[in-house]
Amino acid sequence: MQPGDALHIIIQARMTSTRLSGKVMLPLCDSTVLEVMFQRLPKFKDQIILATTDDGSEAPIIDLCKTLNIRYYRGDTQNVLSRYYDAALSHGAKSGDTIVRLTSDCPLIDQQLLLDMLTEFDMSQYDYLSNTVQRTYPRGLDVEVFTFDALQKAYSNATTEFEKEHVTTYMHTTHKEEFSQGYYQDSSNNSKYRLTLDEEDDYRAIKELYHLLDCRTDYSYTMLIETLKANPHIYEINAHIEQKKK
């Protein structure tokens, strides 16, 4: 980023998940899934924008944001691309700014990983950088970084429902030739681990993992992987779940 450019971390969240309704507000470590995710990103609190829905179900999410002084935006339930774009605009995003996409079903998101990816993004001057397209990190530590200009281009030109439902599909799949791209890789392949929250068994696995971590939120990625390797039963809890295509 250049002087004057800003960083906006937009986290999408809703209460109406089809597989595990209200999952972001489920209890976790005497808190909630969403609040634990915020606790994992203390350096970025002022950059976070919570992009939620405007269908009337979002009140618990908004209440939490107000309590924690987290910025938020209500937008279209189905057209998540427009929700992201409008959330960015409503909080002052402009050409030259950097956007980070996170999802609220990732309460083990890693702050240092995000910092490292932002450094790589700035140094390489990509339009789009992710650790998801060529996956080596566990599912649930998903980070996508892109320019506001790339987001604006996707918003202005996306035509299919799939492109509109999935914020970055236009950038990394259907029109990837229009964007300079980078794929951030782990030093070893840990992609077998599933640390995202979509179904009840995901919730069981995440609760067990946080129990073994004594509900700390300042653990490192190295500590996380060591805990997973030392406790293979966690992997077995939700290994059977198939990820929805996106």
pLDDT score of 246: 52
Dist CA 196 CA 246 (whole Å): 14
**If DSSP codes are grouped into helix, strand and coil, which group holds residue 165?**
helix
Interstrand relation of 98-103 and 144-147 (parallel, antiparallel or unpaired): antiparallel
pTM of the predicted protein model: 0.95
Q: List Cβ neighbours of 106 (8 Å cut-off, separation of 6 or more).
A: 37, 140, 141, 142, 195, 196, 197
At residue 244, the pLDDT reads 65
Give average pLDDT by consecutive 10-residue segment, the chain, 246 residues.
Answer: 84 92 96 98 97 96 97 96 98 97 97 98 97 97 98 98 96 98 97 97 98 98 98 97 71
Cβ distance 100 to 8 under 8 Å?
yes
Return d(Cα 241, Cα 245) in angstroms, integer: 12
pLDDT of residue 242: 83
Domain extents in the chain? 7-192
Residues ≥6 apart with Cβ < 8 Å to 176? none
Say how many residues make up the chain. 246
Angle between helical axes of 221-230 and 200-212 (0-180°, round to 10): 110
Architecture of domain 7-192: Alpha-Beta Complex (3.90)
The label of the residue with tokens 């700390």 reads: 216
